[in-house]
Amino acid sequence: LAKTTQPISMDSYEGQEVNITCSHNNIATNDYITWYQQFPSQGPRFIIQGYKTKVTNEVASLFIPADRKSSTLSLPRVSLSDTAVYYCLVGEKAAGNKLTFGGGTRVLVKP
Amino acid sequence: DAGVIQSPRHEVTEMGQEVTLRCKPISGHDYLFWYRQTMMRGLELLIYFNNNVPIDDSGMPEDRFSAKMPNASFSTLKIQPSEPRDSAVYFCASSRGQGGNNEQFFGPGTRLTVL
């Protein structure tokens, strides 16, 4: 069964750009790709969502190649408060389009 | 809106006891989701409802787990009997529209410890 996979962790410094890639090579045809942010002792919080190409909002950008088998969340100019775990969420075709979270990427922003 | 409300926030119980977790979704949302989060398995979708009807319960680990949604403003997740391996944080989320294509709003979670 294909899995939705992400790097376990990455470190960055304030003011830098952070790019997190999620691999979802069995994504359901009609499903979007959604990214969530989670702080300790809180529920995940929506960041951005897209279907293809590029989406940008006030906090992030999402890049999706034409084959949609991966996606990259880009956080521009991170600050200490961006330290969190970031999850991608897709519907997995092989699992009957079941919503599947990636394992999460722990981002540590250093001063 | 107060957001998704879950109760209790923390629950400590002994193996074999019944546990009931509660959730109040955001008013107007037609989808409700129950997730479990552990270090080993991450975030797992247990079950979701659309208009109070269970749509997919394939993530429910065993018959010991059951979920109901008697009306649009309330849902429960019950574990009977509970076991130590059920210890986890359980999240409820709701959305307006199908959860894969719409923003899900998560509650603060219930941290369950089964001794």
Whether the per-residue pLDDT at B54 is higher than 90: the answer is yes
* Inter-chain CB proximity B58 and A96 less than 8 Å: yes
Q: Residue A91 has what pLDDT?
A: 77
Q: How far apart are CA A71 and CA A89, in angstroms?
A: 11
Beta bridge partners of B35: B45, B91
Q: How far is CA B23 from CA A35, A83, A90, B77, B87, in A?
A: 23, 28, 24, 8, 18
Instruction: Kindly report, residue by residue over B1-23, the tens digit of the pLDDT.
Output: 689 999 999 999 999 999 999 99
CB pairs under 8 A between A and B: 57
Q: Residue B70 has what pLDDT?
A: 97
**Strands (E) located in A1-111:** 9-13, 18-23, 33-38, 45-50, 53-56, 61-64, 70-75, 84-92, 98-101, 105-110
State whether residue A80 is helix, strand or coil: helix
Q: Residue A17: CB partners within 8 Å, gap ≥ 6?
A: A74, A75, A76, A77, A78
Q: What is the mean pLDDT of residues A26-45?
A: 90
Q: Residue A39 has what pLDDT?
A: 96
Q: Does B109 touch chain A (CB under 8 A)?
A: yes
Q: What percent of chain A has pLDDT over 90?
A: 75
Whether the per-residue pLDDT at A94 is higher than 70: the answer is no
In a mutational test of the A interface, the residue from B104, B105, B110, B111 whose CB has the highest number of chain A CBs within 10 Å is B104
Q: What is the mean pLDDT of residues A78-99?
A: 86
Q: Does B96 touch chain A (CB under 8 A)?
A: no
Whether the per-residue pLDDT at A93 is higher than 90: the answer is no
- Residue closest to A86 by CA, chosen among A1, A26, A8, A2: A8
Q: How far apart are CA B79 and CA B95, in angstroms?
A: 24
Report strand pairing: B110-114 vs B10-13: parallel
- For residue A104, the chain B residues in CB contact (below 8 A) are 42-43
State whether residue B33 is helix, strand or coil: strand
Q: Does B23 touch chain A (CB under 8 A)?
A: no
- Please tell me the distance in Å from B103's CA to the nearest CA on chain A: 6
How many residues are given for chain A? 111
Whether the per-residue pLDDT at A1 is higher than 50: the answer is no
Scored b (16 or more CB within 10 A) or e, B18-28 reads ebebbbbbbee
- Please tell me the distance in Å from A10's CA to the nearest CA on chain B: 18
Q: Residue B98 has what pLDDT?
A: 79
Q: What is the mean pLDDT of residues A22-44?
A: 90
Spacing of C-alpha B90 from chain mean position: 6
Report strand pairing: B88-95 vs B110-114: antiparallel
Instruction: Kindly report, residue by residue over B57-115, the tens digit of the pLDDT.
Output: 999 988 999 999 999 999 999 999 999 999 999 999 999 987 777 899 999 999 999 99
Q: How far apart are CA B99 and CA B94, in angstroms?
A: 8
Average model confidence (pLDDT) for chain A?
91
- Please tell me the distance in Å from B89's CA to the nearest CA on chain A: 9
Whether the per-residue pLDDT at A42 is higher than 80: the answer is yes
Q: Residue B56 in contact with residue A57, Cβ under 8 Å?
A: no
- For residue A87, the chain B residues in CB contact (below 8 A) are 43
Return the half-sphere exposure (C-beta side, CA atoms, 13 A cut-off) of residue A49.
14
